Structure 1
């Protein structure tokens, strides 16, 4: 085969004859990364920020994870167990923003790993990162929708004055219904999804601020002292070591502040992706971290007794705090908006997860990839990938019949996602120091200390989240996060050893380099 002609040797007329598929600078950059544009770029900066913000739905996240901080330190676990991790999460987000700015493609994290790893380990790094991310994405969809189901059962219990308490079976049935509805929403065209996410973000912000104001105003003179709200420590975990018990409260913000990589995964649907994606990552993490802390401070002031709250029969303790402070009608009013924002959060996460599955399948890394990488001709979205996510999430939802369903699903999603976050960051500060071509957003000389902190933090948290909530446990109350992650690891490792190492080469370009360069030059011509 004759070598491809050099782009520099092509004159203007020759370049003009080439069929140009790339229509803007975003798709030119995507072509240089090896992919042709298959999505419509209809996410603006504001819509992208709203998308990432919606996936972390601050009021829904805080309401769902209060059960982590309460036993692990009481008021201290609620307030400081949220604040401390947020500082380290910002380091992870900043490192990811730099990578997303440099390589704006839906392949995201596993593409970053492939390009930053030593050449001989490129495919393996991509394989590990991709499977970790897919695991985290699917379990995050399931865990979010499971909390929506719990919010519904909580509302039913409050609305019936405790006469109707729905158990694990009905909760799972509600979960399945929510997953199906989300499947239809996520199958929509990109233009519709972009507009919907703007609404999601607005509703989430309004609902969070409304809940904060309601707690501040209605708690009145019944607030606890500042010393109690910020400094009262109570260990109700079952672990004898108070320090370790407090560390377990870190699970709350770690789960709530996940999914911000979504801005990277929809970068092929974003206008000005190299600038927009990193801004969305940093802005959404800062907003959710800050608002979540304020919300928890207000809840801490309104909380009179941690032991009494832990005895509630409601599925989610935050519902009991709102009931105690606002009364039945006020609680249901605030709760309805919390439920709505969490429902929309699940819809946004479903879009994110489907894009990850599509991108990984596009590189033939999943069983049945030819099905999951298909684009629907009507919506120009990966509908098959959407429904694969729905089915896998429904399967994971069977954990709902255990006593630690949410903590197991939350732990698995955090371990999977943050492992996939840390892998390319680790490669960035080691083998990839000189490989990264900086985008519009770059950390400069700060990439090394920030990246080192990020990797160290993730390593610590992954180990932490594998532990059960108590020193003594059983089959019903054990933490199944490690089981889920280990099962996927065994499958991925076996597939690699037995087969994938022979054919998987990492991200597969679907547009040749010469064409990409010609396209870029053609766009620059008058």
Structure 2
């Protein structure tokens, strides 16, 4: 190694006094992070494969389809189930590709709101960061709530199946189970990074194995009750109440959109990943592609296993997918698959809890949350943001009170997707407008394709956000109304008022926490 290179590496090591035991790759990661304005506070224990497993686990395929099967069948029957999944996958890949480019260029836990701040015009950088950050936190916390409440509903369905329908748990016991699940997830998410990294390999393996097993069962077990290929792919039924058949089918797009949330997690844990500039974009793209493919195969398998859509929709079970298994393989077999599905959803919630806590930590690190000094603390024992973990669980528990109204809870799920995808689209929009010449490409770049792919991504998000605000029936009442707009607007009004009255005077966007300018200057030339 040349003498000049020795000097550069020594300067990079100064960013973190523990770096002497780290690999050259970790030194480069920490130098890159320092150039973004942050000192390294986590151990880089996630490998590339563990990062992919983390993103894959958050988008748990089988519980995502199982919990939202009703919407797919209502919005087109077999066509809504199969093609309502297939079509959105291609547009989501455009969003993922744009996000992968940004994560490769700026691998920091701040993620999306950091991207927005750096790509926006300087005058509006703080505001863009503020909007993106609050949208992402809204989506992250409500997604944790939606996942854990769904687990509780799945347990209720299992109890109903096991007792032949004699016991049907109401919203009170379901909410109590959700609180218990949040506590369990809080304990898991408070673990050290090394433990979390290894657990996510287990999460991904279980998720894939259970989904593959369910697909095989759905294809093999129906026997003569299996529908024809023509019906499985082309039989259309509109049970939405909307007169326009095309619009009714579009509502089926909400199902994959609920599943395709959380793949930004690879960006949010990038400060815990070795080789983050390469691992994060690969994790985003690989997880979205694999979930899209596996999910479509499962939708096809489920379509073959449903001879009568109205019969499934009229099921008394909390989640009608349980009825599909019950009709197909009987009570014992249905309980086995259903319990495994609950396990996958639980693992999904554990992964999502980690993701949400990293977003809260990063936003608090830039003093953008009430009580930021508490939420940005790193636990000295685990070296993870334990306080942020429990804040997420507490807020998710508050949101879970909406579960006493099934309509409000469904609206919460829509609100989580709107919040997440608004935070996804904002930096992508800035990338194709004011930030065209600002991005310093990382190892993964879209090159000249960033503009058409980014344009498609932004247009898709704009469309899906509008779609998610509509009720499932043309004539809405208190039981069918979609209150997601109310939930989103409540957060928007809070964040807006805080911005106007106070935050605009002191919030400047991402706040560097490296004070030694000589260190920053010395690492500028480190070969990244």
1:137-190 CA-to-partner distances (Å, cap 9, x unmatched) read 001101111111111001000001111011111111111111111011111111
Q: Distance in 2 between matches of 1:27 and 1:439?
A: 15
Kindly report which structure 2 residues correspond to 1:84-483, keeping only aligned pairs within 5 A, or say none. 84-483=87-486
CA contact (8 A) 1:82 1:253 kept: yes
Instruction: Report the CA distance shift for 1:103/1:19 in structure 2 as closer, same or farther (over 3 A).
Output: closer
Query: Secondary structure of the residue that 1:474 maps to in structure 2?
Result: coil
CA contact (8 A) 1:403 1:477 kept: no
Comparing 89-98 with 57-66, which one deviates more in the overlay?
57-66
1:413-447 CA-to-partner distances (Å, cap 9, x unmatched) read 10000000000000000000000000000000100
The answer for the alignment partner of 1:21 in structure 2 is: 16
Instruction: Report the CA distance shift for 1:11/1:42 in structure 2 as closer, same or farther (over 3 A).
Output: closer
Cα RMSD over matched residues?
Answer: 1.9
* Cα drift, residue 100 of structure 1: 0.2
Instruction: Report the CA distance shift for 1:148/1:363 in structure 2 as closer, same or farther (over 3 A).
Output: same
CA contact (8 A) 2:12 2:523 kept: no
Runs of 4+ in structure 1 off by over 6 angstroms are 13-18
CA contact (8 A) 1:402 1:477 kept: no
Give the number of aligned pairs.
516
* Cα drift, residue 517 of structure 1: 3.5
* Cα drift, residue 403 of structure 1: 2.7
Q: Distance in 1 between matches of 2:8 and 2:342?
A: 59
Q: Distance in 2 between matches of 1:294 and 1:14?
A: 48
Query: Secondary structure of the residue that 1:73 maps to in structure 2?
Result: strand
Instruction: Give the alignment's TM-score, normalised by structure 2.
Output: 0.95
Instruction: Give the alignment's TM-score, normalised by structure 1.
Output: 0.95
The answer for the alignment partner of 1:4 in structure 2 is: none
Query: Secondary structure of the residue that 2:237 maps to in structure 1?
Result: strand
Q: Distance in 2 between matches of 1:286 and 1:14?
A: 37
Instruction: Report the CA distance shift for 1:326/1:279 in structure 2 as closer, same or farther (over 3 A).
Output: same
Q: Distance in 2 between matches of 1:478 and 1:400?
A: 15
Query: Is 1:515 aligned to 2:519, yes or no?
Result: yes
Q: Distance in 1 between matches of 2:427 and 2:465?
A: 16
The answer for the alignment partner of 1:39 in structure 2 is: 42
Query: Secondary structure of the residue that 1:514 maps to in structure 2?
Result: helix
Q: Distance in 2 between matches of 1:55 and 1:250?
A: 19
CA contact (8 A) 2:139 2:418 kept: yes
Q: Which runs of 5+ in 1 are unaligned?
A: 1-8
